[in-house]
A and B are shown apart, each in its own frame.
Chain A
């Protein structure tokens, strides 16, 4: 099932922990108008789209198409600009072919501790490619300043798994 613009607005609004009333107030429209957008009865006015996208933390293109902007490719951060590994976040993004989305945000420090204990990383999807990922190598890459989209795997079923560090 394809996600409509209304459902996207509702999902993004919930992500931001905003109520329909809050969003309506920010955009100076009625709460009923927001409800109608989210139920796909009407669409937001074109003039409101930039402000709506800004409030929801996405671009207008992302809001309309639902396609997320590509994460930046891997960048090598110079040693003096590197963050402490304890404040870094490892994000695992799984977009299944059926339209299901899984987002797991793990602190790098926690991943490190878990690996030192000899724990296996959770199998976020049934994707066998996830089992082959060498997490120690990912930590090693991060230690050497690699940031961004470190792993991208597309299974034969069309599921996409991405791992990025920020």
Chain B
């Protein structure tokens, strides 16, 4: 997972996090509890299916950019899985 934050005139931030560290069985097990606070009720099995699908797509499309935000001031944020 790559996170790029460009906020001129400050220095650019480029974070590379192993995606496996973020999307794994452990996070799938924790996700239902955390999401419950946001009003989303899913089971551990559903979270695992969601993460599995995310990983499948990520491997099939390595250049996939999940989110890209560009403000009028020139700030730029990109999340690539």
Contact = CB atoms under 8 A, between A and B. Distances in A.
Contacts of B78: 14-15
5 contacts: A3-B72, A14-B78, A102-B67, A105-B67, A120-B40
Interface of B: 4, 6, 40-42, 46, 49-50, 53-54, 56-57, 60-61, 64-74, 76, 78
Contact of B64 (A7, A86, A105, A118): A105
A69 B53 CA distance: 32
B49 A113 contact: yes
Contacts of A99: 71-72
A41 interface: no
A103 B71 CA distance: 12
A100 interface: yes
Task: List 10 A-B pairs, minimum CB-CB distance, nearest first.
Answer: A99-B72, A103-B68, A107-B57, A101-B70, A1-B72, A117-B42, A117-B46, A100-B71, A102-B69, A98-B72
B40 A119 contact: yes
Interface residues of A, number: 27
B50 A114 contact: yes
Nearest to A96: B72
Secondary structure of the A side of the interface? mixed
A11 B57 contact: no
Contacts of B41: 118
B64 A11 contact: no
B73 A1 contact: yes
A114 B53 CA distance: 10
A120 B61 CA distance: 25
Interface string A1-33: 101000100010011000000000000000000
A25 to B, nearest CB: 21
B76 A11 contact: yes
A162 to B, nearest CB: 14
Contacts of A114: 50
